[in-house]
Amino acid sequence: MKTNQYSGFHKLTMEQRAQEVAEFAGLTAEELAHITKPGALSDNVADKCIENVIGTYQLPMGIAMNFVIDGQERLIPMVVEEASIVAAASNAAKMARPSGGFYTSYTGNIMIAQVQVVGVSNPHFACHSILHHKEEILAAANAKDPILVKITGGAKDVEVRVIDTLIGPMVIAHLIVDTGDAMGANAVNTMAEAVAPLIEQITHGTVKLRILSNLAAYRRVLFRSATFYKDAIGGDSVVDGIIAAYAFAEADPFRAATSNKGIMNGMDPVVVATGNDWRGMEAAAHSYMYYKYGKYTSMTRWEKDADGNLTGAIEIPMMVGLVGGATKIHPAAQAAIKILGVKTAEELARIIAAVGLAQNFAAMRALATDGIQKGHMKLHARNIATVAGATGDMLDKVVARMVADKKISVEYAKELIAKL
């Protein structure tokens, strides 16, 4: 496979699809085995990942096709159990392709470490004192990670603010740290702990929490544009329907929660496939909405251009890395990173955000046309038929009949198996 545009890719066997992906990504036989054979994560490695290990757990890895991101074709490995997600992402990417696909910008690999100071009688004066000693604080932080300093510059700035709380005012100091290709949790936490005694001396207060913030407001992917030509997606009525669906999510937190979950349907599987922290990424994405807009709202923005085409944008924190954690110890995660073809955390962040935007487009287009259930339930029917025991040609027949009869259940699938 020389291109990620492959008509009928879904019709190939698993083995054939895997071989095509291996050819595209240049996977070795060993790397391919890590994602196609059981046991990629050995018991020895698993036992060192978390506590009280009793075994390992597998999920399907699928490949989203057709993506062009910042001018480069990408295959997208997605680890997820829900039917229709991979197909929807692939279809959305195909529809974005005529306009050039997805274009992104990136604000940098900046993380925030917070230091909480309580018991300060003059908190605003204490803020000025902290800033006055900024260079000392940065030096103390950077002394803890000279390798990071050599690569990225390490801690680069200090910010301070006073917040009013239930127990009185607090001084909150932020260390602004460039973590490079690492997500950076360990680095920034270590730095926060290192500067705590110095900040206590400066403020005459008591430091309590010293920990990173998952609201990575300075580590964002911003889309310049993703244009879907109206004729390619169903015409003016579909464009208007998508914008109406977006307006609903923008205004209503109940709808926004479901719309944003659809965005995470695309992003989380890539984060999981690459061994990154999907919980931190989710926390950052959801909290950023309130930070930026003052309310919980849609993570995406949809508009019409002058020609009536649909344009989409997303601005979202992206806490991912290629250094440390499961990205380095899980062989399947390493294979997924090679399939993506990324060399930096920035590249990975841009790709993940693109998939999120594509997934949101796919869901809203479905809502604006046939409804979300039509495509989803057709794919879900395959899972139901499989659970009921259908295989081979029988599987396709049972699925077709259940969809036609609009009766998708294990019981009905078993009835059909007995009859057909």
Of all residues in the chain, the percent with pLDDT exceeding 90 is: 81
On whether the CB atoms of residues 263 and 360 are closer than 8 A, the answer is yes
In this model, does residue 222 exceed pLDDT 80?
Answer: no
Topology of domain 9-104+219-369 in CATH is: 3.90.770
| Catalytic, out of 178, 277, 346, 347 | 277
| Catalytic, out of 82, 370, 396, 405 | 82
Task: Give the per-residue pLDDT at 87.
Answer: 95
User: Hey, what are 309's tokens?
Assistant: 């085409």
Q: What's the first-to-final CA gap in the chain, in angstroms?
A: 38
Distance CA 414, CA 416 (A): 5
Would you kindly state where each structural domain of the chain is located, as residue ranges?
Answer: 9-104+219-369, 110-213, 374-419
Distance CA 271, CA 268 (A): 5
Whole-prediction pTM value? Answer: 0.89
Beta strands in 179-268, from DSSP E residues, in sequence order: 206-213, 220-228
Task: Give the per-residue pLDDT at 420.
Answer: 80
Average pLDDT for 346-350: 95
277 is catalytic: yes
Task: Give the per-residue pLDDT at 372.
Answer: 57
In this model, does residue 68 exceed pLDDT 70?
Answer: yes
In this model, does residue 224 exceed pLDDT 90?
Answer: no
- CA 157 to chain CA centroid, Å, is 27
| Catalytic, out of 124, 128, 261, 374 | 261
Distance CA 300, CA 163 (A): 30
Of all residues in the chain, the percent with pLDDT exceeding 70 is: 97
In this model, does residue 83 exceed pLDDT 90?
Answer: no
In this model, does residue 98 exceed pLDDT 90?
Answer: yes
User: Hey, what are 1's tokens?
Assistant: 């496979």
| Least confident interval from 328-332, 346-350, 390-394 | 390-394
Average pLDDT for 83-112: 95
What letter does residue 406 receive in the DSSP assignment? Answer: T
Q: Which helix (H) or strand (E) holds 189?
A: helix 185-203
The secondary structure of 20-42 as a DSSP string is: HHHHHHT--HHHHHHHHSTTSS-
Across the chain, mean pLDDT equals 93
Choosing among 3.30.70.420, 3.30.300.160, 1.10.4080.10, 3.40.50.1700, the CATH entry for 110-213 is: 3.30.70.420
Task: Give the per-residue pLDDT at 396.
Answer: 86
| Catalytic, out of 133, 174, 376, 380 | 376
Helix pair angle (134-142, 185-203), 10° resolution: 140
- Each residue of 151-210: pLDDT tens digit? 998 999 999 999 999 999 999 999 999 999 988 899 999 999 999 999 999 999 999 999
Task: Give the per-residue pLDDT at 375.
Answer: 58
- Each residue of 101-159: pLDDT tens digit? 999 999 999 999 999 999 999 999 999 999 999 999 999 999 999 999 999 989 999 99
In this model, does residue 221 exceed pLDDT 90?
Answer: no
128 is catalytic: no
Residue 55 pLDDT level (bands cut at 50, 70, 90) = very high
Distance CA 59, CA 38 (A): 11
User: Hey, what are 224's tokens?
Assistant: 């310049």
Distance CA 319, CA 408 (A): 39
Residue 33 pLDDT level (bands cut at 50, 70, 90) = very high
Helix (H, G, I), strand (E, B) or coil at 367: helix
Task: Give the per-residue pLDDT at 371.
Answer: 63
Residue 373 pLDDT level (bands cut at 50, 70, 90) = low
Average pLDDT for 338-348: 96
Q: What is the CATH number of domain 374-419?
A: 1.10.8
CB atoms within 10 A of CB 287: 17
236 is catalytic: no
Task: Give the per-residue pLDDT at 280.
Answer: 94
